[in-house]
Amino acid sequence: MKVKVTEEIWKEGNMYVSYCPELDMASCGESVGESQKNLKEVISINFTECRKMGTLNQLLQDAGFSEDKDNVLLARKELVSFSPLEVGI
């Protein structure tokens, strides 16, 4: 089974942070690629441990996922735009 999630990446100092808002999970690395790899690992470890405890379905349901016709789990909402926004104060 596959899960489709959003990945946000930003730079903090000399590190890159990868964040998955649907699952509220994050990781970091010294490069964009390393932070992406580490986030996938964090998600995979969490899914594995939840499966062992019998709580994976509840985690996915609580996060708002549903299965599509191709057996891919999708969140109820989908990010369609992400860009910096400047607002005067």
In this structure, what CATH number is given to the domain that contains residue 28? Answer: 3.30.160
Domain that holds residue 63: 2-74
Average pLDDT score over residue span 26-50: 96
Nearest 5°: the CA angle 75, 59, 68 is 35
Of 87 and 66, the structure prediction assigns the larger pLDDT to 87
Q: In what order do the strands lie in the sheet with 25-29?
A: 8-12, 15-20, 25-29
Helix or strand run (H / E) with residue 54: none
Given a contact cutoff of 8 angstroms between Cβ atoms, the answer to whether 3 and 72 are in contact is yes
- Number of structural domains (the chain) is 1
Is 21 within the bounds of a domain? yes
Query: Across 26-30, 55-59, 65-69, 75-79, which has the greatest mean pLDDT?
Result: 26-30
Given a contact cutoff of 8 angstroms between Cβ atoms, the answer to whether 16 and 33 are in contact is no
pLDDT for position 75: 77
| Rounded Cα–Cα distance for residues 29 and 51 (Å) | 26
Average pLDDT score over residue span 66-78: 77
pLDDT for position 76: 67
Q: What is the dihedral of CA 57, 69, 76, 47, to 10 degrees?
A: 30
